[in-house]
Chains A and B, each alone.
Chain A
């Protein structure tokens, strides 16, 4: 188990005529929690979908470690109401698991005893946890979460990220998360990547937060951090401090 779990080498993605990702260099190692942050439309979801193979890059390549198991939790998942699907059946798709494995996965994900519920009867938060339970079933080498805390309330979000750390410690897997939920994400991450079509900057959150450049970038409190991410997508605040200061005064939505 040496070398990165998954690697993007000079990856560029175009959808239609629009360039979504530009020369992405990225590697995720085992036991590492990496968070990708960026404004809406910065290509966060596209990056994850490219890494799992759902989108073919038009330049560059994705290298996966041989035999890599990915647990992917998509941003949205719609199960058509005409499709009868219990939580148990969903967890047993595409491979059957024994009862105790299912029960343990549901417990870990925080929805114990829900195996016989219909997926469509779950609340948004429970549904997200069911997705998480399924992603954890085959003890993935790499866990990929796309805005996974959606539909959770404030305490739920904090618990959720605490749980991600626990899972990493228990399973020893790498974690790649995408989120706009900056402050919680920053606390849980080993490395933060700021994405805006290209990778603007990246680094260890603690090291980054002591850096004066970081303060120019993100401000000192989370409101400002959130406001930052409403910045004009064509500006890159680590180079253009002036425009950053302007945008940090805006109130976040």
Chain B
């Protein structure tokens, strides 16, 4: 019943969730939702640069996202209000990206594919890149989990116990850039933040520890990917958007169930 391209799509989606789940939890806990969305917007500039220089889109997007993430982290440390800073940089990068793309008259580019992703067009090489990036981020998350979690609870506690919270936060930001770069093909610029936040927010309703929430987010995300792909197959709807819609339905159901259980 499922074609080969559907299997590849499922592998790509689950690959993104492997990293997006633990990372999404930190995005939710640290109230970085806007940060994720803003970095993703900057990815459009990365696409334009990659096409102009004829380099891999993954590399271009990764470079721009990293530059954006590091700039924001450094500037935020100097007393600029985070949301204003993100608002300026993200939309500037998006606008400059769109302008830059319009100059590339000799290249036909399907901007929609980058804004909304094209999970059904994922090839074998893409799956390699996605899983490579995701496993790298998962590795970083596992390696620095306790330190980043402590810094999330309190930077001062982290300092007092000999950690360097600033370094761990930078690592978190870099991981976010990597996930955005690998996920752009799957769900696109506009929906990446959704895959970070919705599964994590859903898992919150039934988790009593941070670790359970991270694993729960992975499970919810995987179910959303499989349900969304199946739904798009039968309903002939855009795959990436259907995956996010499936995640949203799960979010609603789990939260209603949790409320009912309380009463």
By a CB distance below 8 angstroms, the chain B residues around A207 are: none
State whether A94 touches B204 (Cβ < 8 A).
no
A97 to chain B, nearest CB (A): 13
State whether B147 touches A94 (Cβ < 8 A).
yes
Q: A84-B209, A85-B209 are in contact. Are A94 and B160 (CB under 8 A)?
A: no
Among B150, B156, B208, point to the contact of A94 (Cβ < 8 A): B150
State whether A79 touches B153 (Cβ < 8 A).
yes
Q: A84-B204, A85-B153, A93-B153 are in contact. Are A72 and B160 (CB under 8 A)?
A: yes
Query: Is residue B6 within 8 Å, beta carbon to beta carbon, of the partner chain?
Result: no
Query: Is residue A49 within 8 Å, beta carbon to beta carbon, of the partner chain?
Result: yes
State whether B156 touches A54 (Cβ < 8 A).
yes
Query: Is residue B9 within 8 Å, beta carbon to beta carbon, of the partner chain?
Result: no
38-58 of chain A: CB within 8 A of chain B: 49, 52-54
Query: Is residue B212 within 8 Å, beta carbon to beta carbon, of the partner chain?
Result: yes
Q: A52-B156, A52-B160, A144-B160 are in contact. Are A82 and B149 (CB under 8 A)?
A: no
| Distance A64 CA – B207 CA, assembled complex (angstroms) | 39
| Distance A53 CA – B207 CA, assembled complex (angstroms) | 33
139-190 of chain B: CB within 8 A of chain A: 146-147, 149-150, 152-157, 159-161, 163
State whether B161 touches A118 (Cβ < 8 A).
no
State whether A82 touches B201 (Cβ < 8 A).
yes
Among B155, B156, B157, B210, point to the contact of A84 (Cβ < 8 A): B210
Query: Is residue B29 within 8 Å, beta carbon to beta carbon, of the partner chain?
Result: yes
State whether A83 touches B161 (Cβ < 8 A).
no
| Distance A145 CA – B31 CA, assembled complex (angstroms) | 28
State whether B31 touches A80 (Cβ < 8 A).
yes
107-144 of chain A: CB within 8 A of chain B: 118, 144
Q: Give a binary string over A75-95; 1 marks a CB under 8 Å from any B CB, 0 the rest.
A: 001011011111001100111
By a CB distance below 8 angstroms, the chain B residues around A72 are: 156-157, 160-161
Band of interface residues on B: 20 to 34
State whether B159 touches A83 (Cβ < 8 A).
no
State whether A94 touches B161 (Cβ < 8 A).
yes
Main secondary structure of the interface of A (DSSP, over half): loop
State whether A84 touches B208 (Cβ < 8 A).
yes
State whether B31 touches A89 (Cβ < 8 A).
no
Query: Is residue A70 within 8 Å, beta carbon to beta carbon, of the partner chain?
Result: yes
State whether B153 touches A95 (Cβ < 8 A).
no
By a CB distance below 8 angstroms, the chain B residues around A60 are: none
CB closest residue in chain B, given A144: B160
CB closest residue in chain A, given B149: A93
Query: Is residue A74 within 8 Å, beta carbon to beta carbon, of the partner chain?
Result: yes
192-249 of chain B: CB within 8 A of chain A: 201, 204, 207-210, 212-213
State whether B210 touches A85 (Cβ < 8 A).
yes
Query: Is residue B28 within 8 Å, beta carbon to beta carbon, of the partner chain?
Result: yes
| Distance A77 CA – B210 CA, assembled complex (angstroms) | 17
By a CB distance below 8 angstroms, the chain A residues around B157 are: 72, 74, 77
State whether B147 touches A74 (Cβ < 8 A).
no
B61 to chain A, nearest CB (A): 28
State whether B28 touches A54 (Cβ < 8 A).
no
State whether B209 touches A89 (Cβ < 8 A).
yes
Name the residue in A49, A85, A118 with the highest tally of chain B Cβ atoms < 10 Å from its Cβ. A85
Apart from A70-B161, A85-B210, A89-B209, list 4 A-B contacts with CB within 8 A: A52-B160, A72-B157, A80-B30, A94-B150
Report, nearest first, the 10 A-B pairs whose CB atoms are least far apart.
Answer: A72-B160, A94-B146, A52-B160, A54-B159, A83-B29, A53-B159, A84-B207, A70-B160, A89-B209, A94-B150
A-B contacts, 28 listed (Cβ < 8 Å): A49-B156, A49-B159, A54-B155, A54-B156, A54-B159, A54-B160, A71-B160, A72-B157, A72-B161, A74-B154, A74-B157, A77-B153, A77-B154, A79-B153, A80-B29, A80-B30, A80-B31, A83-B29, A83-B153, A84-B207, A84-B208, A86-B209, A93-B150, A94-B146, A94-B147, A94-B161, A95-B146, A118-B208
